Amino acid sequence: MFDVVIKNGRIVDGSGLPGWNGSVAIADGRIAAVSGAIAGPARQVIDARGAVIAPGFIDPHTHFDAQLLWDGQARPALEHGVTTIVPGNCSLSLAPLKVADRRQLVGMFRQIEELPDAAFEEGFTWSWESFDGYLDAIRARLGINVAPLVGHSVLRLWVMGAASQQRAANSEEIRQMQNLLRACLDAGAVGLSTSFVDVDEHLQPVPSRWAHVEELEALAAVLGEHGRMLQVVPEFYNTDITIARVDQLADYSLNYGIPTTFSPLFDSVATPNNVTRVLRRVEEQFARGARVWPQVQTRPIDISFCFGLPSLFFGRLPRWFRVMRLRTDEKLQALRDPDTVAKLLDDAGPDGGAAVFGRLRIRSVPGGDLALVGRLLVDVAGERGITPARCLIELSLEHDLEAHFVAADMGHDVAARVGPMLAHPFVHIGASDGGAHIASFATYGDTGYLFSKFVREAHSLSLEAAVKKITSDTASIWGLNMRGLLRRGYAADVVVFDPNTIARADEVAVHDVPGGGMRYIRGARGVQSVLVNGELAFSAASGYTDARSGEIAPLN
C-alpha cells in the first residue's frame, strides 16, 4: 500500500531529460516508484492529467528566519511549489545569539527585512541561544524543508559583542568564531553567509563588514572541514569590485574545497555590461576548477515611491525633484499652489506625463480604496478627465502624500538579455530574497515567473531545463542529500503544476505580520498540489493543509 500515488502526469524529473507520461508513488515520505504504470493501492490518489509532476522547487536565498517561528510553511512560498528554503543569508541568522544581543540583532533584521519590532515581540517566544536551539524552536511546526545558513555577523556578535561593529577580530576571537561555526555546522547549518554591503538600522555596517580578510579565510577553512557553502553579498553596485570578490571566492573554493555563491547580480539598461563582465570572470574561475555560483533572480525590478519621501524616480525631472525634497508642510503647500503645479505639469512634458508616468500603478492608499489600488494611473486620469501628471498630484493630495505608486520593470526586465543569463550553465537561479523587503515589494513567485516569462513567452529555457535549474541543480550546488530529483528513495518533495498556466499572481498588500504589520505578497497560479516529504501541504482546491512534514534538510 502506497501512501500517495500521483498518476497520469508528465514526469519532469529534475534531471533535465525530456518529460514523459507516468506516475509517482510515495511511501514513508520517500519516492517509492516513478513509472509509466504503477500497480498497487494507495491511501491517496492525485490525478495529474494534463499537468507536470516535478520535484519540489528549492529557493536558495531567503530571509524566513523569523517568519518560520510563527509560520512554519513560509507562506506564500510553499504554494508556489517551493518545498525547501535556505534562510540565514546576507550574514544574518537568528542563531547563535546571546540574550543580551537580541535587541541589536532585531535592529539589523528590521533594517534588512523590514520586519517591525512587534513581530519579534508578539510573533514568538525567544527560547534559544545556540544554533541547534533555534532549529529546535522551528522544527515542530515546519511545513517546509529548511537548509539554514549561519550568519557571519551573528558569529561576530556572539564572540565580540559591541566590538563586532568597531574593529577587526584578534586571533583568539577568530579562533572562538571558528569553534562556534563548527558547532553550527555540526547542528545542521548548510554553510556560512557574509555581507560586504548591508547596514543596520543606524546605517552602520553590519558586523561581518568589519572583518579582515584573515577572519573570513579562517572561517572558510572551517567550512572546508565540512565541504559547506559560503554565501556572500559582494559590492554589487560596482562591477570591478564584484569581479574582485569572484576571485576571492574562487581562491577560497580552491584552497578549502568549498562551494561559494554570491548575489545579487542583475541586469539593467543603465549598467548593460555588468552581468556580462561578471559572468566572464565566473567562467574563468570555473575553468580553474573553482565553484563560484552567481545567483540571478528571475523577476524584474519594480520601484515604488510616494510623495511623502524623496525618490530618485524624479531624478530627471528637476522641478518635481525639488518639490519632493521639501518638508511635508511645504510640499503640501507647493502641490496646492497653481503656479507651482503649472511648472510641474510643464516639466512632465507635452503629453501630460503619459510617457514618464504612464506605466505607474497605484499600489496602495490609506484605507485601501479598491477603486484605486492596482490600477494604472493613466486609466484613473482618463476617468477624471485630467492628465497623468495632474492625477499623480491629485491622488497624492487626496491621501496626504501617502498614496504609493509602483513603476514596474525598471531593471532586469529585458527578456532577450535576462533569459540567456538564466540559461547560462554557471548561473544559479535564486536571489528571491523571500521574507525580506516585506513592506517594499513581494519576494514570492519567482519560480512561477520563470515558467511564464522565460519558458512559455521568451523560450529562453525548455520546461525541463527550467525545472532542473531550480531543483537538482540547486540540491547539487548546496549539497542537499537526496533532494531535487524524482528518483526512488529520494525525499518525496513534489509539485504538480499546469505548464500552460503556472505564473505568479498580482502583488497584494496583506496585514498578517504579527503585531499587525503589513507585507506585500503574491499568490500562485497553475500550481495544483505541493507535497513535502510525502504529505500534501497545499492544493489549489483546498489551500494549505495542516501537514507539518518539513524537516531540517539532511546534507551530503
**Binding footprint of other proteins on the chain (CB under 8 A):** 202-203, 236-240, 264, 266, 268-271, 273-274, 300-305, 310-313, 315-319, 321-323, 325-327, 330-331, 334, 340, 343, 407, 410-412, 437, 440-441
| Closest C-alpha among 86, 88, 184 to residue 132 | 184
Strands (E), 217-322: 229-233, 260-262, 292-296, 301-306
Grid cell at residue 169: 577580530
- Taking the complex as a whole, the smallest distance from the CB of residue 266 to other proteins amounts, in Å, to 7
What's the Rg (C-alpha) of the chain? 24
By beta-carbon proximity to other proteins, the closer residue of 169 and 407 is: 407
Query: Checking phi first, is residue 499 left (phi over 0); if not, alpha (psi -120 to 50) or beta?
Result: alpha
By beta-carbon proximity to other proteins, the closer residue of 197 and 547 is: 197
- Taking the complex as a whole, the smallest distance from the CB of residue 249 to other proteins amounts, in Å, to 19
Q: What 3-state DSSP class applies to 379? A: helix
- Taking the complex as a whole, the smallest distance from the CB of residue 296 to other proteins amounts, in Å, to 12
Q: How far is CA 374 from CA 166, 371, 402, in A?
A: 45, 9, 15
Q: What angle do CA 480, 462, 288 make, to 5 degrees?
A: 55
| Closest C-alpha among 213, 207, 83, 226 to residue 156 | 207
By beta-carbon proximity to other proteins, the closer residue of 255 and 333 is: 333
H or E element that contains 489 = none
Distance CA 34, CA 20 (A): 11
- Taking the complex as a whole, the smallest distance from the CB of residue 50 to other proteins amounts, in Å, to 37
- Taking the complex as a whole, the smallest distance from the CB of residue 310 to other proteins amounts, in Å, to 5
Beta strands 229-233 and 260-262 are parallel
| Closest C-alpha among 27, 51, 21, 25 to residue 38 | 25
- Taking the complex as a whole, the smallest distance from the CB of residue 317 to other proteins amounts, in Å, to 8
Grid cell at residue 387: 492628465
- Taking the complex as a whole, the smallest distance from the CB of residue 36 to other proteins amounts, in Å, to 46
By beta-carbon proximity to other proteins, the closer residue of 243 and 249 is: 243
By beta-carbon proximity to other proteins, the closer residue of 230 and 265 is: 265
Grid cell at residue 83: 518545498
- Taking the complex as a whole, the smallest distance from the CB of residue 286 to other proteins amounts, in Å, to 24
- Taking the complex as a whole, the smallest distance from the CB of residue 306 to other proteins amounts, in Å, to 11
Q: Are 429 and 461 in contact (CB under 8 A)?
A: no
- Taking the complex as a whole, the smallest distance from the CB of residue 297 to other proteins amounts, in Å, to 9
By beta-carbon proximity to other proteins, the closer residue of 354 and 410 is: 410
Q: What 3-state DSSP class applies to 461? A: coil
Which residues are CB-neighbours of 13 under 8 A, at least 6 positions away? 19, 34, 54, 55, 485, 486, 487
Count of alpha carbons within 13 angstroms of residue 39, beta-carbon side: 0
One DSSP character per residue, 63-120 reads --TTGGGT-TTTTTTGGGTEEEE----TT--S-S--GGGHHHHHHHHHHHH---HHHH
Grid cell at residue 75: 507562506
Per residue, the 3-state secondary structure of 133-192, as one string, reads HHHHHHHCCCCCEECCEEEHHHHHHHHHHHHHHCCCCCHHHHHHHHHHHHHHHHHCCCEE
- Taking the complex as a whole, the smallest distance from the CB of residue 382 to other proteins amounts, in Å, to 26
- Taking the complex as a whole, the smallest distance from the CB of residue 380 to other proteins amounts, in Å, to 22
By beta-carbon proximity to other proteins, the closer residue of 303 and 423 is: 303
By beta-carbon proximity to other proteins, the closer residue of 228 and 299 is: 299
Q: What 3-state DSSP class applies to 18? A: coil
By beta-carbon proximity to other proteins, the closer residue of 301 and 509 is: 301
By beta-carbon proximity to other proteins, the closer residue of 318 and 367 is: 318
By beta-carbon proximity to other proteins, the closer residue of 343 and 548 is: 343
- Taking the complex as a whole, the smallest distance from the CB of residue 271 to other proteins amounts, in Å, to 6
One DSSP character per residue, 506-532 reads EEEEEEEETTTEEEEEEEEESEEEEEE
Grid cell at residue 420: 540567456
By beta-carbon proximity to other proteins, the closer residue of 201 and 383 is: 201
By beta-carbon proximity to other proteins, the closer residue of 223 and 317 is: 317
By beta-carbon proximity to other proteins, the closer residue of 56 and 264 is: 264
H or E element that contains 465 = helix 463-469
Which residues are CB-neighbours of 30 under 8 A, at least 6 positions away? 488, 489, 490, 491, 492, 534
- Taking the complex as a whole, the smallest distance from the CB of residue 33 to other proteins amounts, in Å, to 44
